[in-house]
Amino acid sequence: MKNQLDSIKETLLMGPGPSCVYPDIYTALSKPTIGHLDPKFISIMDEIKDFLKQIMNTENSLTIPVSGTGSAGMETCFVNTIEPGDKVLILINGVFGMRMQDVAGRLGAEVDTVEFEWGTPAIPENVKEQLEKKDYNLVAVVHAETSTGVKNPVAEIGELVKDTKAFYLVDTVTSLGGIPVEVDAWNIDIMYSGTQKCLSCPPGLAPVSFSDRAVQKILDRKTKVPNWYLDLSMIVNYWEGSTRAYHHTAPINMLYGLYQALYCILDEGLESVFKRHQEAHLALVRSLDKLGIEMLVEPEFRLPMLNAVKIPDGVDEASVRKKLLEEHQIEIGAGLGPLAGKIWRIGVMGHTARVENIERFAKALAATL
Ligand SMILES: *Cc1c(COP(=O)(O)O)cnc(C)c1O
């Protein structure tokens, strides 16, 4: 019988995710599956929580990976902390801000937005004005907007939200493991991430963290969390305490993968990992400049791990992506929404973020153009 998996070739993943996977993670994924209540596995879970706290810079005891991709992390954060009628403010400058608006709206929240031009960051002054107009239960923003390559001023906005009674919710799916994320110092109450971007693990888990104040809000809910699978008040009984209770079977081998990903990052050192991302990003900008290709975002707001680049005039963008994949085994991403057909999104995330990968890509792009 023919097996399709035999013909999978390794691809240099330079799109908006997934990113290339560290070889050690493939080894970790193939370790023997053990029981989800085996003491050895519980000990691995405990260290994962500890590793996550180090990478997120938080003391939050509710810091765990949710079973599901980054979007499950988003859903977990909103579904646990919002009740119908809650007043929610979402800052939008790309696709993932819009997705937050959709998720919060489905939960019966009263959702307001402050919108900013795609390709530019959220402006704290505008957020301040809106916070003075109305009392909110929750304010949400995306740290690294993967649809545009913009870094939002999460720390500055956190200073503003701190002076109100609102919870501060931040999407760190693309930022975590590529640039600093300071949950406690930035007054973040609720955050989620994903494994497939700068953590360089295959898609499938969503690390989340909740401050004690946010945990209290969950405990004080008047209504049950309207989603059984993502209800943290039940999930914590599996992730915390001296005896652990079954909720759903943990994705054992994916958690080995996450353990190894966090191990690799902490072993290399967070500072070196961030530096590696920045160096690869600068190498990319230089090689694109040589080809006459411009960046969408102003230098000070650029994300190192997600580069939005303007497609040169007269170039058929889809056929360039197709050729890169077919002839060079390199994947890059297309633009989304209003930026479709206008930009490519070039990911420099996690294990991909190495100057030698940039050089290989630059050669392939030059040949293709
Ligand atoms: C990728 C991404 C998500 C969604 O993650 P999935 O793993 O695709 O579910 C959410 N937010 C941002 C900013 C992302 O880049």
Q: Are residues 132 and 247 in the same domain?
A: yes
Residue 327: predicted pLDDT: 98
Residue where a domain terminates, one of 245, 266, 287? 266
The pLDDT assigned to 353 comes to 98
Amino acid (1-letter code) at residue 322 = K
Provide the residue type at 14 as one letter: M
Over residues 232-277, the pLDDT tens digits come to 999 999 999 999 999 999 999 999 999 999 999 999 999 999 999 9
Q: Is 171 in the pocket of ligand 1 (CB under 6 A)?
A: yes
User: Would you state the pLDDT for residue 285?
Assistant: 98
Report residue 88 as tokens.
């929610």
Pocket test for ligand 1, best of 13, 66, 69, 169 (most atoms within 8 A of CB): 69
Among candidate residues 108, 105, 168, 165, the one with its CA nearest the CA of residue 134? 165
Q: Distance between CA 108 and CA 83 in Å, rounded?
A: 7
State the pLDDT at residue 206.
98
Report whether residue 95 contacts ligand 1, using a CB cutoff of 6 Å. Answer: no
Ligand 1 centroid to Cα of residue 133, in Å, is 31
User: What is the pLDDT of the chain when averaged over all its residues?
Assistant: 97
Distance 120 CA to ligand 1 centre (A): 19
| Whole-number percent of the chain with pLDDT over 70 | 100
Is 304 found in the same domain as 167? no
286, exposed or middle or buried, with CB in 10 Å at 0-12, 13-18, 19+?
exposed
CA distance 125 to 159: 12
Residue-level pLDDT at 264 = 98
Question: Which of 67, 75, 170, 197 best tests ligand 1's pocket when mutated (most atoms within 8 Å of CB)?
Answer: 197
Ligand 1 centroid to Cα of residue 5, in Å, is 26
First to last CA, the chain: 40
Domain stop point among 266, 292, 327: 266
Same domain, 198 and 339: no
| Cβ–ligand 1 contact at 96 (below 6 Å) | yes
Same domain for 54 and 158, yes or no, is yes
Are residues 202 and 104 part of one domain?
yes
Which ligand 1 atom is nearest residue 74's CA?
A: 10
In short, whether 69's Cβ falls inside 6 Å of ligand 1 is yes
Residue 208, pLDDT score: 98
Residue whose CA is at the smallest distance from ligand 1 atom 14: 173
Shared domain for 93 and 214, answered yes or no, is: yes
| CATH code: domain of residue 294 | 3.90.1150.10
Per-residue pLDDT tens digits for 199-222: 999 999 999 999 999 999 999 999
Residues 286 and 253 both lie in one domain: no
Q: Cα–Cα distance between 169 and 189 in angstroms, integer?
A: 6
User: Domain range holding 254?
Assistant: 24-266
Q: Are residues 80 and 180 in the same domain?
A: yes
Return the best residue to mutate from 174, 176, 205, 258 for the ligand 1 pocket (most ligand atoms within 8 A of CB).
174
Q: 177 with 250, same domain?
A: yes
Of 221, 201, 226, whose CA–CA distance to 349 is shortest? 201
The answer to whether residues 253 and 280 belong to one domain is no
Summarize the confidence of residues 172-183 as an average pLDDT: 98
Per the structure, the count of domains in the chain is 2
CB of 28 closer than 8 Å to CB of 358: no
Which residue has the least CA distance to atom 3 on ligand 1? Answer: 70
Confidence of residue 189 (pLDDT cuts 50, 70, 90): very high
| Pocket probe mutation, ligand 1, options 75, 92, 96, 208, max atoms within 8 Å of Cβ | 96
Give the DSSP letter string of 82-125. --TT-EEEEEESSHHHHHHHHHHHHTT-EEEEEE--TTS---HH
Q: Can you give the pLDDT at residue 295?
A: 98
Query: For 51-61, what is each residue's pLDDT tens digit?
Result: 999 999 999 99
Q: Which of 215, 239, 266 finishes a domain? A: 266
Regarding the beta carbon of 175 and ligand 1, being less than 6 Å apart is answered no
Cβ of residue 196 lying under 6 Å from some atom of ligand 1: yes
Task: State in Å: Cα 232 to ligand 1 middle.
Answer: 20
* Contacts of 236 by beta carbon, 8 Å cutoff, 6+ apart: 62, 64
Residue 240 has a pLDDT of 95
Specify the pLDDT at position 351: 98
Query: Which of these, 114, 141, 140, 139, lies nearest to 129 by C-alpha position?
Result: 114
Atom of ligand 1 nearest to the CA of 195: 7
- pTM listed for this prediction: 0.98
Is the same domain home to 255 and 284?
no
Residues 251 and 305 in one domain: no
Q: What is the pLDDT of residues 2-52, one digit of tens each?
A: 999 999 999 999 999 999 999 999 999 999 999 999 999 999 999 999 999
Q: Token pair 């050192």 is at which residue?
A: 269
Tokens of 223: 């209504």
Atom of ligand 1 nearest to the CA of 94: 13
Q: What CATH number has the domain bearing residue 157?
A: 3.40.640.10
